[in-house]
Structure 1
Amino acid sequence: MQSPPPPPPPHAPRFAWAGRNFRIQTAATVISGLGNAGAPIATAFAILEGGGSTADVGYVTAARLLPTVLLLVLGGALADRLPRHHIMVAANLFSALAQAALAVLVLTGEAELWQLLLLSAGGGAGYAFYSPAAGGMILESVAPEHAARAFSVFRMGLNGAQIGGAALGGALTAAIGPGWVLAVDAGCFLVAAALRFFLETQPLTTARGGGMLRDLREGWQEFASRRWLWVIVLQFSVLVACVSAVEAVYGPIVAKQHLGGARAWGLAMAAYGIGLVSTGLLMVRWHPRRILLVGNWGVFLFGVPALALAVAAPLPVLAVAMFLSGAGVTVFGVNWMIALQQEIPAEAFSRVAAYDELGSLSLAPLGTALAGPAADALGLSGALWACAAISLVLSAAVLLEPQVRRLSRRTPAAPAAQSGGAAEPVAPADAHR
């Protein structure tokens, strides 16, 4: 008599791969992201309502970006040496203090331009130490075979906060003023710091001798030896400058002149967030083989909002443009994180991530600082057309690099490439060509 088939194995929970650290870090990122999404809107309109100019908005944005650029590499080196959750908690507390002070100044009506510049710089310094540590923590928190799913889910949480935070920030800025939005951002940083205090980190498996300069030199060698990596970072150094000028300076100005103000720009940013999240759902299941080639197709969408703003498109058209841009950011971002996770040694990840972000943000302070003068010289519409054209040209130019076109996804069981070159059949000499 034939024995009955064995019972099917019990189904594992849907998020069984997501460990404690991943859940805590994602929750903390969502909370801080809610405040961060509304804070730039509040800051821009605080300046404009106080009689500031387009150039003033650009200067304050540049003041936040400049210390980020200057301190990122130091933050990456520390994150590869010290417990990453300690660095994130300290950075969150520092950012909370800076935003709280900014909120008090705006609420009391005593904010002067030099104070806005100084406190914005403080927030940028906090981010410079937080960001490299955060990237390394996500890398540590999941097994390699779940990396694509983890990065997609993490970005959906972050981007979902972008939707709610931007819409709420725009509405609150219009209803009760920008100072309260900045106060909420400070509170979100405090809650995120409290959550991250409970993260657990493993001790470093590789003891490194030498000092900080040696760490930085080794991180640079890891970065510079991968041509696909620094080519895309060069692309983003100019691209991020253009996108920052559009989102932080030109967008609020066009919204104020043609769309009704902060509420409309908040809704546009929320549409951007919907594009981020909805595409994150796609990326959970879609695992393209040519990770950088597919990722760069998303970069072509980055300039679409500039086109819509250049022609003073109505809010529904602008919302579609922002949605498409958000979708492109997620397509690129998930594939980029997979490439870094696959190709960069874990013990050097934070330093390489810091060089990545340093290069990508290096021209952003200049871009936002020059946004006002560029609008004066070219006209607001002309400056927006220039940003859109630059984005399109850069997206096409980076595809001329063979490693960008050829770098392929590997299965976790495959041996890691030492050079960071393409995983599909490519002559070893080509990897560093």
Structure 2
Amino acid sequence: MDIHTEHGSTPPKKQKIYQILYVQVIVAIALGILLGHFYPDYGASLKPLGDAFIKLVKMIIAPVIFLTVVTGISGMQHMGAVGRVAGKAMLYFFTFSTLALIIGMIVGNIIRPGDGLNIDPLTLHSDKVTEYAAKAHDASIVDFLMNILPTTLISPLVSGEILQVLFVAIIFGLSLAAIGEKGKPIVSFLNNLTTPVFHLVGMLMKFAPIGAFGAMAFTIGKYGISSIGNLMMLIATFYITSLLFVLVILGLVARYNGFSILNLIRYIKDELWLVLGTSSSEAALPSLMRKMEKAGCEKSVVGMVIPTGYSFNLDGTNIYMTMAALFIAQACNIELTLTQQFTLLLVAMISSKGAAGVTGAGFITLAATLSVVPSVPIAGMALILGIDRFMSECRALTNLVGNACATIVVAKWDNALDQTTFDHTMKNPTLSTTDINPTAKLDT
């Protein structure tokens, strides 16, 4: 059944162009760039607008994940399905995260964007780099795994730690499913609670243009287009590599699974523009989950794959890590042997999981990698600290597309995809995607 209509009800009216969310965000981004460029001081002062919007979205992330996962799992017929979905998701994440690391390393070796800078590592120092290195030192695998376990059953809903929320939601959903009839009133209540929560998501998304405007004005006002200077080659290389990863690698995965990556990108364009404007992939998490459900993916799969993917399926971050490490080595005239590069790759595979979910994770994982591979000076991170804001947008965009693709693929693998709804959505990716339509009734 089309989730926008039920029992012959009329579909939503076509929105006027100025009412479309992604159009509003595009205009806001353009205005933010102009303001930041011509009035940099005033533009930089608008940072609180972007921060406030991201905080508003983070406020609703924990309830969205909890309700989606609990109601999805409690409706499963077999408890083994939870472990099966999680296993397939982790297999997908590991495969493509590793592939992203390898691609970043290959491109970095071919284009060599750091050649010619001739930087003396002894001249590099930055208090900010030291701060990131300290965070990376604290982000061990054991600490990361221990942090998944919450202090209390309800503390994750207060702290907003994504993996803790996911952990509590899974065990609570399993508990509800196990008690059968006695749990049905609670499941019914949570299903009903989903409607106002997602309506709230729709309300918050109306502030997206303001958030994007403030965030972009700050970025351009503080750093300026000219500040990236001769580092443009690294930025261009990273953007092109990420684009090729999405269009070629994920494109082939999508084709093999019966859909077009370009249609998927059109379907989630609201979320992509939102991420571009705010440099935060978390800003789009609630509405991305809703859209994946609307596309025909079962709620339980959406609830498992997307929140987990935000920590484990970071394709953009992985491309950035190996490419940035090679850039620093090339800039400092350090030639890495194949063995050293292979070691770098292995360490990056581990550190990308150890620092997952931490604010500034891209830079922290890079620090964690370089701290274990002494061949590349960790002080070299000062070279790319100034442009990290520009690269974080590409990381977030690539991560978002990767997680949307992963959700569809895992759902298909687990026979948890409504193929009719999905095919209709992919053939008409621009229809009814301009808002969340939170009042639409969903089959549960």
TM over 0.5: no
Higher relative contact order (CA 8 A, sep 6+): 2
Q: TM-score, normalised by structure 2?
A: 0.29
Q: TM-score, normalized by length of structure 1?
A: 0.30
